[in-house]
Structures are given as structure tokens and as C-alpha cells.
Chain A
């Protein structure tokens, strides 16, 4: 088991024939992911060779779903067309749409997440690295070779912090790592992932990575207090971020006194979450709970 993404997940890639789509489809396939097709109306009917594997290109998501039984789509479509791409995937009945695209206007994100939610499609992202269930399936751009299958579930707003923690805890391994994205509006929240990890028998401990902006971490803390019985270890980035400046991610901004890292850390601690001051200290907390070998970063 894992959450959202399993060995059986059949994946379409929207925007597969673009440079990013090609690069990451190759990586997904190499990690054992069942990529069953790409979507590009201008290249329908062709196939693309990835090493020894030929992947068909369909003219629409619906056509791809009809031919392959795909239940998941990974979206690499540029920002101006991303909303339409997700609407198309929702209309074709896919259960999961992973939106990697960075730079989607917020009004489009509001529209696409509302449209998907009303019709039962889960959106992960936008502006996210996707999700990986190591050893089983990889939907997005998370490097598959950092770690192996294991007992930790991870949910994060940040891609590279996810990689850093996967690296530090590579010897314990992960059930699923979900990068929910750093935009102000995303389809899947920390809370959604906490609920799924709580119900996942493969997950023994949950790592929650947050950053400045909004109050998603505070709400996650309240949810943990009331609903999560598995141990949770947290990390929050952005203590030194000045007020009113966007720090890389569109959603990473402290407005007045709201959205600060300190408030998030305190809320998580009040809910019984062990919070590390650095990624390495966070990894150390995980090792303290689960036992096992100390990651090399934490040993120094």
C-alpha cells in the first residue's frame, strides 16, 4: 500500500512531447512507473520511444483513457493552457491529476481545483514536484533513486526540502512522498495527506514539511491533535523571511503578523508534533522515534 499512487496506477502524461515532459517521462518509466500514454492533439497517433519502450500519443485525455484505462495524469502543459488541460482530464474521468506546471495564474488554479473537486478528481499541485511511492510508481519529477520503500509518509510544500529529507532518511525509506506545491491555492492539502497516511497500513510515521505563508500548517496542527494517532515529525522553513516579500514560491509570503514560521512551529508543537530546527535535526527526530540507523547527515 501507499497513498494516492500505487504500482497499479496507469499514468498519462499531458505535455509528454515537450522537453520537460520527455525528460521526466523517461525517468518515470525507468523507475518502473506504468506510463501508458502521452497526450498531444498535434501528435496523435504517433509513438515515442523511450529506450526500449514505445509510448503511444493520444489526441485527447478521453481517447487515452478509453484505450488504456489510465486513472492518473501528470500535467507538464505550460501555464497558459494548464487550466484547460486539467478540465479535460477531469472530464475524461481521471481520479488523480498531478500538476507540475509552475506559474499558473491564481484565478486559473481556483477554477481548476474547484472544477476537479466538484467532479471527484484529486488534484496534486500545481507548482509541485508530484508524488512518489518508492519502488512502486513515480508521478512527477521527484528523483526516484534517492531512497527506497519504507515506513515514512512525507507531505511537503517544497520539492528540494522533500529531496533533502528523503536523502537524510534514505535508510529507513518511504511509503509515499507527496509534494503538494508552493502556490497559494493547491488541490491537495497537508490535511488530505495526513488523513490518507493515518489510514495507510504501510505508513508508521508522518513527516510534515511546511513553510511561511497562509495558515495550512496551523490547520494541519489542529487536525493532527484531533485525528492523527501516528507519530508526526515536522519542519518549517522561513524563520528569517522578511515581511511582505515573496520567497521563491508564490505562496511563501509573510503578511503582517500572519503566516510566520514561528506561529506554524508553535502550533505544530502544541499538537504534539516534534519539530526540527533544520532538516537534519528533523531527520534525527524521525530516527529517535523509529529507531534504525542514523542517517549520515544526522550522525555528524
Chain B
């Protein structure tokens, strides 16, 4: 779960990291009032969960409240890399003397977090690392010890950061651990003309698995606003909407990804990812199918199940239930194999729905579903 900048700013502030005074709004008129409260001048920043915001014109410096209103009017509704700007943050401008970069990121290969720091902040760290790798320090953090003052001094020294940043490095580690984040990044971390160390912009990614330790967090940070994704999430389904015409339902993340690829390999585009999981019940299958079928882009549906833990007869039962609950208007190709496959196939044969057909192999099923979708698109 990636947070918006203003959410990251709040977390930083809660852990004692110095941030500029700021306010957020979705209205230009309100932006004028916030700027006035900040003392007149304000930096107006689009709140989007993607990089490259500055280059896209999503950040403007306003000299007075009317200019802040004008800037907000310009930025709100803007499209930045496919993200529509719904909120702007107005922040008090700082008199910046130097800019640094600091983050803690997960090193998957090493299985631990790494401090990444550079005295050259403000630009994208990937660019600095590519052009001048010696300017970026990477220090692995011992998970048992964490980052205390001594470790923070080591990080600051390695990156050439001034000693005043040590406190921020320790507090940023506390944000990472106490908030169960997978990434915390401050860029730039600025030293102001009056000698303060201020986090001017930040990025935080939270670990969805740790939600049980943060009951207050709720859905405020949930990503995805697609109505079908919201509906699927409410049913507890693992669903990602894509932009194709073959709906896909399968069990197990790997097998579903593989099924999407098989559909694409047959010249059609998958409409979604839906993993009904191991040991799925008839209810989950019926709910999943209902969500996939309600996508207007879907022309055919492919159900690909290899029953390891999952029993194919339960899946077939779920399909039969869905047929009773939803009026099927699109062809459904079903491949059942593994645990109780014969019983599952017999259940579907007995239901004998004219739009449901069975395939014996995964590749054969993908081929058939792709052809049915293409035929429907051509006919339409």
C-alpha cells in the first residue's frame, strides 16, 4: 500500500521528524485559505501515488493566497501518468540550503532492510545511482539491532551527510518498524538556511500483512478505486482488474498469472486476475464468477482449476450455483483437473448449460476462451 505524500508527512510528524507546516484540500477556494494560514506563500503539490510529478507540472510555488487558489485550480483534475489529481497539499516554503536523500528499503535478496543515503538529494535516486554510484551509500541493517545512534552515524558518514541528520535517520527507522512499512523515503531531506533538518517530501509503503497490528488504519490507505475491485475486496476476493476481454478465474497466484499469459499467448487479452485460493469453497467460486461476469468488457470467461487442496467438485458446485444466481450471457470455458476432477466434470455435464463447455487441458482451455472472445468482439 503506497501512501500519499500528505499521509507520509503525517506519519513522519507523528514520529518526531521535522516537516513543513501544511494542509490538504480538494477545493481551490479552500487552498487560498490554507495559503493565508501558512503566511501567504505556499508550495502547491498534486497528491498522486506516482513519481515525476514535478516534471508533469503538478508542483507550483504560489507567492500569495490568490496565486495558491489559481495553482490549485490548475492542478486539481490534472492527469499525471494515468492518475487523476483529486487532492492538493499546500506546504510552507522552506529556505533550502542543501538537499539530501535518505531511505530504508527492503533488499529481497538479502532478506533484510538496507539504508540508502546520498548527499545528492532532490533528484531521482536511481539517476544518481546510475550516473555516480559512489555518491550513494548502501548500508545493510541488522534486523535484531535496528538503527540506533551509532548505526545512524555510520550511515551519515558513509553518505557524507552532516551530523545533524543522525536524529532523522534514527526516527525514520522507527517509522519503518513501528508502522510496519516496507519502504520509507525522504527526498529531499533539506537543511534550511536557519540550520534545521526538514523532510520536504516523502514516500511510505505499508505492509498489508501487518494490518492486524494497526487496527486504526482501516481502509483509508487501501489502493484501487475501481468499482469492481472494491466489490471483489468486499467479498474477500483476490481480484485485479485488467483491460481485456477474457475473464479469468483460477486457484493459486502462480497458476492464475500463468493462465493470463496463456490467454495472451492465444492472441486475446485477459480482463482480470482472480485467485480463488487454495481450498476454495463453492461460495467463493460463485462470488468470483459473479464479479468477473459483471465486467462489461468481458466477452468470455476461462475457469482454470488444478485441484491440489481445492476440490474440483466444490468448484463445479460453485459454478452451478452461480448459473442459478446470475443469468449467463457469455460463454464459459472450464478446465478442471486434479483432486475430484471427475466428480466436478460430471456435475457440470449434468447441469448441461448451453454456454458452458469443458476443456481437458489448460492450453486447450485458453485457446478456446480466446477464440470465443475474439468471435464475440468481431460479431459485435
Interface residues of A, Cβ cutoff 8 Å to B: 79-80, 103-107, 109-111, 113-115, 117, 129, 141-143, 146, 156-164, 167, 182, 184-187, 209, 211-212, 214-216, 219, 235, 237-242, 245-252, 261, 277-280, 296-297, 300
Also in contact, A105 and B144, with CB within 8 A (given A158-B255, A241-B260): no
Also in contact, A249 and B253, with CB within 8 A (given A79-B212, A161-B258, A240-B260): yes
Q: Quick one: which of B199-250 are within 8 Å of A by CB?
A: 207-210, 212-213, 238, 240, 242, 250
Also in contact, A159 and B212, with CB within 8 A (given A216-B108, A239-B264, A278-B265): no
Also in contact, A184 and B212, with CB within 8 A (given A114-B143, A146-B338, A249-B253): no
Interface residues of B, Cβ cutoff 8 Å to A: 106, 108-109, 111-113, 142-144, 177, 180, 182, 207-210, 212-213, 238, 240, 242, 250-258, 260-265, 269-270, 273, 275, 278, 306, 308-309, 337-339, 360-364, 366
B2 → chain A closest CB, angstroms? 8
Also in contact, A248 and B109, with CB within 8 A (given A106-B182, A279-B362): no
Given the complex of chains A and B, what is the CA–CA distance between A204 and B106 in angstroms? Answer: 35
- Residues from chain A with a CB closer than 8 A to the CB of B278 are 141, 159-160
A110 in contact with B361 (CB, 8 Å): no
B363 in contact with A160 (CB, 8 Å): no
B253 in contact with A182 (CB, 8 Å): yes
Of B112, B209, B260, B265, which one neighbours A114 at CB under 8 angstroms?
B112
B106 in contact with A245 (CB, 8 Å): no
Interface pairs A-B: 3 shortest CB-CB: A158-B254, A248-B253, A160-B252
A252 in contact with B257 (CB, 8 Å): yes
Also in contact, A247 and B108, with CB within 8 A (given A141-B309, A161-B258): no
Kindly list 18 other residue pairs between chains A and B, CB separation below 8 angstroms, not including A184-B182, A250-B209.
A80-B212, A104-B209, A105-B213, A106-B207, A110-B113, A111-B143, A141-B308, A157-B254, A159-B308, A160-B252, A161-B254, A162-B254, A163-B308, A211-B257, A240-B261, A242-B242, A251-B108, A278-B258
Residue of chain B at shortest CB distance from A191: B109
Of B112, B238, B262, B338, which one neighbours A278 at CB under 8 angstroms?
B262
Given the complex of chains A and B, what is the CA–CA distance between A122 and B251 in angstroms? Answer: 28
